[in-house]
Structures are given as structure tokens and as C-alpha cells.
Amino acid sequence: MIAIVVYILIVNIVAFSLMGSDKTLAKKGKRRISERRLLTYAALGGSVGAYVGMRAFRHKTKHAKFFISLPLMVIAHVILFGALFRWLMAS
């Protein structure tokens, strides 16, 4: 169970950091982090970090792909991880 918590923390920190890094790269006009990579980290459990990063850095907030999918992923992950923790605690 501790491994799952550590995984969730790490993937959310990475997703948050990627959003911040991409915003910085965008401001500097440099090569960007692909939307696919940003959404992949969100889908792999980092949706909360990606969503918080999107709001904190005001990045990708006008892209429907992000402002619709990230909140939906957050809901799905809360349900999924909640059920997983509940199952693990019952075992």
C-alpha cells in the first residue's frame, strides 16, 4: 500500500512540474513538452497534479482537451484510488 501512495505522490509531482516547465518553455519560445506527454502523466495517476498545475500556472486553460479531460480524470482517479484503498484496507 505504501508503494501505491508513493507512486501517486511521485506521478502527481511530475505532472505538476511538467505543466510548470511547459509554461516556462512557452514563455521563452523554446521547444515544448507535447500535449500527449502532459495528458499521459495525468492519465497514469497524475491528474490532480496536472490539474493543479494547469490552474496554478494558468497553462492550457483554454484548451478543451485539458479543461474538460483533467477534471474528469481527477474524478475517475479519486473513485479508482478510493476503491483500491478501500479494498486493500479490507484485505
Q: Is the dihedral of CA 60, 50, 77, 40 positive or negative?
A: positive
Query: 11 with 44: CB under 8 angstroms?
Result: yes
pLDDT of the residue at 1: 82
Q: What is the mean pLDDT of residues 42-71?
A: 95
Could you tell me the pLDDT band of residue 91, with boundaries at 50, 70 and 90?
confident
Domain ranges of the chain: 2-90
* C-alpha cell belonging to residue 13: 509531482
pLDDT of the residue at 51: 97
Q: What is the pTM of this model?
A: 0.92
Question: In the chain, where does DSSP find H-type helix?
Answer: 2-28, 35-41, 47-56, 64-67, 69-90
